[in-house]
Amino acid sequence: MSKSIYVVIMAGGIGSRFWPYSRNARPKQFIDVLGTGRSLLQMTYDRFLNITGKDNIMVVTNDNYGPLVKEQLPDIAESQILLEPFRKNTAPCIGYAAYKINRKDPNALMIVTPADHAIFKENVFNTVIETALEAAESHEKLITIGIEPNRPETGYGYIQYIEDDEKQEVKKVKTFTEKPDLDLARKFIESGDFVWNAGIFVWSVKAIISAFENNLPDIAQVFEEGTDQYYQEGEEEFIKKAYAQCNNISIDYGIMEKASNVFVVMGDFQWSDLGSWNSLHELRDKDENHNVVDANVLLSDCTNNYIKSDQEKLVVLQGLDGYLVADFDDVLLVCEKDKEANFKNYINEVRAKKGDKFL
């Protein structure tokens, strides 16, 4: 690989579907969700040290979480932590990182990844990323990683690609649809023509900046104006003004659905976006009744549940099937674990009736 490789870790979300484990003050990316001794952010950082040096890894996060990033990743410099003054979704986040990298190395390659995904076959993952990097180095391609779907998930983007040659590893994308409704997601699964977008992107800095200029020119102009401010004392003040001018839009809606140079590389590396309690239940070790138990419990006639509580508290449960029982300090949540769409409703109701104390 002849070009520098930069990794941009997006770590600004609040993880609402993991409430009350994930809280505003410490969202899920900063938590040891999998019980490995490392937070999801730290695991993501570790993963990419196999691909590039620590000096080329950036973390984009909300400015409230800057101290958490410094605490968990002490090896990276202040200039590698990009602080967002407002949450404006992934397009401004990626735009900020791309234009900052461009200031230092306009010929660089760029990997963009969420901070909170789990990948269990890291050797396979590395091979997939290397394939994508090689394609991005020689051509102006916007590359996403595709995952074979196993359910009609409405929280992911869906990719339909052109199968010119089954042996071709980098496939041209025919359609890119972000977060369809349930009926459309079912049709995608039934057709067999669609794969999930893992939300991991690979491209050259030149390619993504060109895509911003063509598809999101307002955002492109905003971050282009800061060229002289990146890596300087005035960067923070500039970014506050820049974000105030940016629309709230995802990279998927803003660019990937529109661009004609989108490609996909398929990945089979045991991936999960850990987007909900239900997805975590799928990954964790279970007892003989399919319960995930991270608590001091006595169970009677309980199946397919996720139970998490302080080990010092005894939890006695009877007759639950498919429930989440989550006991954290000042919040106890008991609900059907697969009704993850309701979590935003819970949070909105708590905020409206109880304030932000419990969030």
CA 221 from chain centre, in angstroms, equals: 26
Average pLDDT score over residue span 238-245: 96
The Cα 221–Cα 219 span in angstroms is 5
More confident site: 77 or 3: 77
More confident site: 339 or 50: 50
Class of domain 5-272: alpha beta
The answer to whether residue 165 scores a pLDDT higher than 70 is: no
Looking at residue 238, what is its pLDDT?
A: 96
Closest to 330 (Cα-Cα) out of 314, 350, 349, 344: 350
Looking at residue 356, what is its pLDDT?
A: 87
The answer to whether residue 139 scores a pLDDT higher than 80 is: no
- Tens digit of each residue's pLDDT (9 = 90 or more) over 85-135: 999 999 999 999 999 999 999 999 999 999 999 999 999 999 999 999 999
- Tens digit of each residue's pLDDT (9 = 90 or more) over 192-232: 888 888 999 999 999 999 999 999 999 999 999 999 999 99
Looking at residue 1, what is its pLDDT?
A: 58
Closest to 142 (Cα-Cα) out of 61, 228, 206: 206
Q: Give the helix/strand (H/E) hosting 17.
A: none
Looking at residue 167, what is its pLDDT?
A: 64
Average pLDDT score over residue span 175-192: 86
21-35, 229-243, 248-262, 312-326: which range is least confident on average? 21-35
Looking at residue 339, what is its pLDDT?
A: 79
Q: Which sequence spans correspond to the domains of the chain? A: 5-272, 277-358
Looking at residue 166, what is its pLDDT?
A: 63
